[in-house]
């Protein structure tokens, strides 16, 4: 959300009321703005101390889709309408006295299509800047560059003193060595190639160089006398720069996205057209494209849409008449009229300053904002449904509570960890097919999504050295594995993990914790190949995370599948033949952690660990 800084006295002057901070905060809240800061107290304190001080400013956060609110001119226009003090202005195109034939023409060359294909422009005639409005004009361009322009990569704006230039203009793209001009703030001419080098060390401009640097041609705008206007999106020329005295302003915008380009040119022109001798008028230009087609720019024609009172009411639990809605929408700078044909409909004319409106739902929102969200009727919906916990959450909670009752403490480590914590610290090689890897972590702490709960538990023990022994920690949470069969190429798996740390390793302690979990899940201990239907058992294993001879694998024998008769028969046959152990699946490991693992995690006491997959215990319906 962009934050803008506006002159407090000037804004209140325009709103025709001197608000207290609380009053203004409340007005902002209702409109959907947020008053971040009022610098009045700060300024007064500075003046008291005899320090230089600016005029008091209001810092206001505005919604990211409301580009019409990022300058003093726009925000005061919107709030005046909201307060019902002024109908929204109607922006119009003012053609030169000779009509269309006298329009300033800009020809777009074919080469521009390779680097920055879209172009739009506008002229503001007989403008009168004050130092405040001049600063606001520069600031608006900067806000648009940063936000919708995505740091000038999508859209860039150039503004020029039209009286220093000779139309018609040409928007071209040339090789960097074929461009030479004196850029803003410099008296001598440089080639574009030189400028790219000069600006390398410029704190402000260096951020934009990458947008065109590697292109074989750079965008450039010329007038009829080959004066450069600007080299978008980097810099304007010194020759055509605007000053406080500038009377006629030419605005150029170039872009890689046509929709955003139109929004930007409309925004700049409409916001500052209020300073023209004839306020809210914009002189258009004619753009000739490489294919010979032409376009009058800017296109500020309001978009006309239909909004239904019945729809707005059905979305808000209100019963507003179309004419009430009409006045609500007018307060939001829209221009609605009642439909002559349909008593339910309003014909809403959307000004070019409101490109945030996509759908009838956006008009409904404007009506609701003007009505006041906090004034809506206090009701409770009728929607009747049955509560249902997620089976895996319920299952995990059973074991969480049992283990806590058994004296174990729940830990909550991070799910992301470093590659070595997940693999080499655990003596486990990375097969490459297991863990999901992060491309752009800011720190080495977050390189992979964990495939085991144990590293997090071991880090928890490491950070709790001062805790009395034994330390008993557990976690029931998700790990993630690569899974190429799935759309998202990965799957979560709910695991249960625990680590015991004390003066002796205590294999039997974590074994007991496993037995307890199984008892609570009614999974009996069975023997390998003993023909029982369902159960678990452990067997010596070889996971390198554990001490040799003190490592075990946990096996689970799921209940026989009941999905088909044939399966049942097959299972029956297997049972009689005592070959059912091929149904047994590995669900986890337990053991005494290897001393080299402890060393990696900087733990000086022996530990035993347990980890197994919980998903197999979900009741299948």
Partner 1 sequence: MAEQLQQLILDTLDTQSTLQDSRALKIPGQSSPASSHDAQITILGALNSLLSREMITYETHEVSSHVLTPEGVQIVREGSHEARVWAALPERGGAPLSAQDLKRAVGDEAAKVGQGRAFKSGWIAKEGNGFVKAVSNITDTTHTELRELESSGTLVAGEKALAELRKRKLIIQRKGQWFTVHKGANFSTSIAKPETDLTVDMLTSGSWKKSTFKKYNFDADGIPTSGGALHPILKVREEIRSIFLEMGFEEMPTGTFVESGFWCFDALFVPQLHPARELQDTFYLSDPSTSLPPPSDYYERVAHVHEHGGYDSIGYRTPWSHEESHKLLLRTHTTASSAAMLYKLAAKCRGEDIDGDLSAKSQPGAANLSDDGFRPAKLFSIDRVFRNETMDATHLAEFHQVEGVVADRNLTLADLIGFMRTFFRKMGMKNLRFKPAYNPYTEPSLEIFAWHPLLEKWVEIGNSGMFRPEMLAPMGFPPDVRVHGWGIGLERPTMIRYGVSNIRTLVGHKTSIENVENSPAVMF
Q: Find the binding residues for partner 1 in span 417-476 (CB under 8 A).
A: 432, 436-443, 446, 449, 456, 459-460, 462-464, 467, 471-474
Q: Count of residues binding partner 1 (CB under 8 A)?
A: 102
Tokens of 332: 């939001």
Query: Running DSSP on this structure, what letter comes out for residue 276?
Result: B
Looking at the Cβ atoms of 310 and 337, the one nearer to partner 1 is 310
Looking at the Cβ atoms of 20 and 383, the one nearer to partner 1 is 383
The yes or no reply on residue 392 touching partner 1 (CB under 8 A) is yes
Q: Which residues pair with 181 in a beta bridge?
A: 190
Helix (H, G, I), strand (E, B) or coil at 500: strand
For residue 615, the minimal CB distance to partner 1 (Å) is 9
Q: Which range binds partner 1 by CB under 8 A, 91-99, 122-130, 267-275, 490-498?
A: 490-498
Looking at the Cβ atoms of 115 and 288, the one nearer to partner 1 is 115
Which residues, 198 to 237, sit near partner 1 by CB under 8 A? none
Looking at the Cβ atoms of 47 and 414, the one nearer to partner 1 is 414
Q: Which of 45, 47, 64, 579 binds partner 1 (CB under 8 A)?
A: 64
Q: What is the SS3 assignment for 133-191?
A: HHHHHHHHHHHHHHCCCCCCCCEEEEEEEHHHCCCCEEEEEECHHHCEECECCCCCCEE
The residues, ordered by sequence, that sit 6+ positions from 344 with a Cβ below 8 Å of its Cβ are: 308, 309, 310, 322
User: In sequence order, which ranges of 16-69 are alpha helices (DSSP H)?
Assistant: 21-31, 40-48
Per-residue interface string for the shown chain with partner 1, residues 534-573, x marking contact by CB under 8 A: ----------------------------------------
Q: Which residue has the tokens 């007018």?
A: 330
CA distance 496 to 470: 20
Q: Which residue has the tokens 């009701």?
A: 379
Q: Which residue has the tokens 């920055």?
A: 116
For residue 280, the minimal CB distance to partner 1 (Å) is 25
The yes or no reply on residue 308 touching partner 1 (CB under 8 A) is no
The yes or no reply on residue 257 touching partner 1 (CB under 8 A) is yes
**Triad 458, 461, 467: Cα angle to 5°:** 170
CB neighbours of residue 10 within 10 Å: 17
Q: Which of 174, 260, 495, 600 binds partner 1 (CB under 8 A)?
A: 260
Which residues, 27 to 56, sit near partner 1 by CB under 8 A? 29-32, 34
Which residues, 91 to 130, sit near partner 1 by CB under 8 A? none
Beta pairing class for 169-174 and 180-181: unpaired
CA distance 223 to 171: 9
Q: Which of 107, 164, 191, 316 binds partner 1 (CB under 8 A)?
A: 316
Tokens of 578: 């005592």
Residue from 611, 395, 593, 619 nearest 513 by CA: 611
Q: Which of 85, 114, 210, 401 binds partner 1 (CB under 8 A)?
A: 401
Q: Which of 379, 563, 565, 604 binds partner 1 (CB under 8 A)?
A: 379
Q: Which of 40, 175, 427, 492 binds partner 1 (CB under 8 A)?
A: 492
For residue 34, the minimal CB distance to partner 1 (Å) is 7
Q: Which range binds partner 1 by CB under 8 A, 13-21, 80-88, 172-180, 253-261?
A: 253-261
Half-sphere exposure of 111 (CA within 13 A, CB side): 14
Q: Which of 413, 506, 591, 606 binds partner 1 (CB under 8 A)?
A: 413
The residues, ordered by sequence, that sit 6+ positions from 223 with a Cβ below 8 Å of its Cβ are: 165, 166, 167, 168, 169, 170, 229, 240
Looking at the Cβ atoms of 406 and 520, the one nearer to partner 1 is 406
Q: Which helix (H) or strand (E) holds 143?
A: helix 131-146
Q: Which range binds partner 1 by CB under 8 A, 44-52, 389-397, 570-578, 586-594?
A: 389-397
Per-residue interface string for the shown chain with partner 1, residues 129-168, x marking contact by CB under 8 A: ---------------------x---x--------------
């Amino acid at each position: 959300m962009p934050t803008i800084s506006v002159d407090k006295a000037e804004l209140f002057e325009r709103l025709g009321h001197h608000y207290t901070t609380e009053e203004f905060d409340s007005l902002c809240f209702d409109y959907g703005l947020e008053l971040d800061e009022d610098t009045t107290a700060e300024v007064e304190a500075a003046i008291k101390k005899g320090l230089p001080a600016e005029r008091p400013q209001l810092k206001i956060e505005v919604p990211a889709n409301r580009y019409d609110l990022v300058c003093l001119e726009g925000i005061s226009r919107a709030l005046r309408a909201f307060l019902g003090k002024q109908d929204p202005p109607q922006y119009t195109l003012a053609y030169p006295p000779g009509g269309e034939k006298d329009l300033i023409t800009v020809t777009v060359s074919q080469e521009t299509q390779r680097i920055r294909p879209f172009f739009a422009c506008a002229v503001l005639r007989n403008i009168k800047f004050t130092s405040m409005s001049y600063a606001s004009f520069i600031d608006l361009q900067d806000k648009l560059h940063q936000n919708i322009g995505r740091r000038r990569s999508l859209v860039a704006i150039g503004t020029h003193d039209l009286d220093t230039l000779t139309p018609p203009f040409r928007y071209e793209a040339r090789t960097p060595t074929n461009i030479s001009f004196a850029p803003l703030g410099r008296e001598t001419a440089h080639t574009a190639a030189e400028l790219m080098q000069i600006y390398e060390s410029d704190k402000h401009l260096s951020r934009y160089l990458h947008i065109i640097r590697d292109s074989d041609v750079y965008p450039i705008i010329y007038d009829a006398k080959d004066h450069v206007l600007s080299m978008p999106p980097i810099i304007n020329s010194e020759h055509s720069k605007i000053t406080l005295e500038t009377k006629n302003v030419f605005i150029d915008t170039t872009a890689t996205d046509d929709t955003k380009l139109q929004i930007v040119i409309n925004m700049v022109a409409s916001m500052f057209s209020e300073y023209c001798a004839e306020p809210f008028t914009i002189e258009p230009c004619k753009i000739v494209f490489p294919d010979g087609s032409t376009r009058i720019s800017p296109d500020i024609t309001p978009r006309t849409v239909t909004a239904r009172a019945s729809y707005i009411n059905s979305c808000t639990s209100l019963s507003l008449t179309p004419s009430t809605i009409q006045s609500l929408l007018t307060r939001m700078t829209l221009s609605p009229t009642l439909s002559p044909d349909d008593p339910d409909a309003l014909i809403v004319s959307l000004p070019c300053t409101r490109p945030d409106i996509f759908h009838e739902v956006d008009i409904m929102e404007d009506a609701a904002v003007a009505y006041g969200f906090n004034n809506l009727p206090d009701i409770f919906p009728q929607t009747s449904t049955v509560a249902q916990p997620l089976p895996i959450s319920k299952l995990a909670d059973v074991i969480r509570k049992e283990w806590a009752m058994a004296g174990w403490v729940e830990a909550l480590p991070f799910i992301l960890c470093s590659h070595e914590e997940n693999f080499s610290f655990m003596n486990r090689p990375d097969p490459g097919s297991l863990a999901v890897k992060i491309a752009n972590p800011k720190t080495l702490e977050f390189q992979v999504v964990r495939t085991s709960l144990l590293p997090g538990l071991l880090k928890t023990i490491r950070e709790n050295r001062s805790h009395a022994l034994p330390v008993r920690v557990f976690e029931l949470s998700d790990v993630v594995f690569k899974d190429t069969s799935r759309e998202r190429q990965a799957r979560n798996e709910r695991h249960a993990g625990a680590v015991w740390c004390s003066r002796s390793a205590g294999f039997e302690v974590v074994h007991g914790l496993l037995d307890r979990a199984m008892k609570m899940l009614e999974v009996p201990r069975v023997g390998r190949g003993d023909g029982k239907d369902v159960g678990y058992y452990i067997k010596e294993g070889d996971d390198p995370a554990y001490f040799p001879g003190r490592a075990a694998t946990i096996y689970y024998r799921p209940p026989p599948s009941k999905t088909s008769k044939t399966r049942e028969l097959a299972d029956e046959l297997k049972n009689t033949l005592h070959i059912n152990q091929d149904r047994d699946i590995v669900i986890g490991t337990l053991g005494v952690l290897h001393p080299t693992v402890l060393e990696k995690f900087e733990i000086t006491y022996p530990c035993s660990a347990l980890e197994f997959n919980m998903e197999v215990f979900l009741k299948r319906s």
